[in-house]
């Protein structure tokens, strides 16, 4: 029984958690496609298995001064959230989610991932590389929309506005295609940032790709009264065609 429990725990740890933040469009060209619908869920993207996500603290455009309402829904048989935003003017729209931290018992830590989603409206393509000023943030070094499968995606990880060197970045495909991984090791790809906080990855398949830079910092108290470390994630979601 102990061996079985250990195996189950290790399997859980091996599967990366991603706060998934994707939309129906990453490029808007006309009024009929101007309403963005957001899918906000806490899942294993490649394996398409869900976890319960409590209501986020907020979903925002550019800063916490512009909140976007969300409503509860279900994703992969677990509680998730959805939202909408109508794009009326040309511009670069940077959305992000501030989640309610999630406690992962098998890892004995809290997980707090803040994902970004960048959308181009009506042909304007300037400003996609502008940081939002988040404590943990990935700033793209490659235009994060209008991408093809086979393109390299590069970004810089910022921690308190400064490049985060030697930081692990987990990468997963939102696998709505029924793809099967050759082994568990193939599910989550991992790259590390260089001395300048930069990383690169070739997106070898079409679909949404999640990039999660993980920085453990701080503690929170759980309901058992004990304090546990926080895994802070700087995330960005980009789509390849």
Q: Express each pLDDT in 140-185 by its tens digit.
A: 999 999 999 999 999 999 999 999 999 999 999 999 999 999 999 9
Read off the pTM: 0.92
Residue 148, pLDDT score: 98
Residue 3, pLDDT score: 41
Residues with pLDDT less than 70, the chain: 1-15
| 222 CB-contact burial (10 Å; exposed 0-12 / middle 13-18 / buried 19+) | middle
CATH assignment of 2-240, among 3.30.70.3270, 2.40.50.100, 2.60.40.1930, 1.20.1070.10: 2.60.40.1930
Residue 185, pLDDT score: 96
Q: Express each pLDDT in 2-19 by its tens digit.
A: 343 333 343 444 468 899
Give whole-number Cα distances, 206 to 18, 148, 169, 170, 196, in Å.
18, 7, 20, 18, 28
What tokens were used for 206? 């079409």
Residue 15, pLDDT score: 63
Residue 12, pLDDT score: 41
Structural contact between residues 165 and 194, judged by C-beta atoms closer than 8 angstroms: yes
Q: Is the dihedral of CA 209, 48, 17, 26 positive or negative?
A: positive
């Amino acid at each position: 029984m102990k061996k079985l429990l250990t195996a189950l725990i290790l399997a859980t740890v091996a599967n990366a958690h991603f706060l998934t933040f994707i939309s129906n469009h990453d490029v808007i060209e006309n009024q009929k496609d101007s309403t963005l619908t957001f899918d906000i869920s806490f899942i294993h993207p490649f394996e398409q298995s869900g976890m319960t996500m409590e209501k986020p603290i907020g979903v925002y455009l550019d800063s916490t001064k512009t909140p976007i309402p969300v409503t509860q829904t279900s994703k992969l048989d677990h509680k998730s959230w959805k939202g909408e935003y109508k794009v009326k003017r040309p511009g670069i729209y940077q959305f992000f989610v501030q989640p309610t931290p999630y406690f992962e018992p098998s890892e004995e830590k809290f997980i707090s991932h803040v994902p970004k989603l960048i959308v181009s409206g009506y042909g304007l393509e300037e400003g996609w590389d502008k940081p939002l000023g988040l404590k943990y943030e990935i700033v793209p070094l490659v235009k994060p929309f209008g991408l093809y499968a086979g393109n390299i995606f590069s970004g810089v990880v910022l921690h308190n506005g400064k490049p985060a060197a030697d930081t692990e970045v987990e990468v997963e495909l939102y696998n709505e295609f029924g793809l099967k991984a050759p082994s568990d090791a193939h599910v989550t790809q991992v790259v590390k940032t260089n001395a300048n906080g930069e990383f690169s990855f070739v997106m070898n398949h079409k679909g949404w790709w999640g990039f999660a830079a993980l920085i453990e910092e701080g503690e929170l108290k759980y309901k058992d009264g004990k304090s546990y470390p926080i895994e802070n994630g700087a995330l960005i979601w980009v789509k390849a065609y």
